[in-house]
A = this chain, B = another copy of it.
Amino acid sequence: MSAVSRVFTPGASVSARMRARVSAAADKLGYMPNVLARSLMTQRTHLVGIILANFNNPIYLTVLDHFTRTLQQRGLRTLLLNVSNENDLEAMSRLVLQYSVDGLVVSAGAISPFITEQCVKRAIPLVAFARRPRRGQLNVVCADNVAGGRMAARRLIDAGHRTFGFLGGPASASTSEERGEGFRAEIEEAGLTLNTSAHANDYGYEAGVHAARQMLSSAGCPDAIFCASDITAFGVLDVARHEFGRSVPDDLSVVGFDDVNLAAASSYNLTTISQPVEAMVTETIDILEGQMETWTGAWDTRLMACTCIERGTVRQ
- In the complex with contacts A98-B33, A238-B265, A82-B77 CB distance below 8 A: no
Q: Does A183 contact B (CB under 8 A)?
A: no
Query: Can you list 26 A-B contacts with CB-CB less than 8 angstroms, sorted by A residue number?
Result: A30-B118, A32-B94, A33-B98, A35-B98, A35-B99, A36-B36, A36-B39, A36-B40, A40-B40, A55-B61, A55-B65, A61-B61, A64-B82, A65-B84, A68-B80, A72-B95, A78-B81, A79-B79, A79-B80, A204-B261, A205-B262, A234-B267, A237-B267, A238-B265, A242-B267, A267-B268
Asked if B64 and A55 make an inter-chain contact with CB atoms under 8 angstroms apart, the answer reads yes
Q: What 0/1 readout, one digit per residue, does chain A (227-247) give for beta carbons within 8 Å of chain B?
A: 000010011011101100000
Which B residues touch A68, using CB under 8 A?
A: 55, 80-82
Rounded to whole angstroms, the CA-CA distance of A32 and B99 in the bound complex is 10
Nearest-neighbour CB distance to chain B for A300, whole angstroms, equals: 24
Rounded to whole angstroms, the CA-CA distance of A72 and B32 in the bound complex is 28
| Additional pairs, 11, CB under 8 Å, beyond known A79-B79, A239-B266 | A32-B94, A32-B97, A35-B98, A36-B40, A55-B65, A68-B80, A68-B82, A77-B79, A205-B261, A234-B267, A262-B262
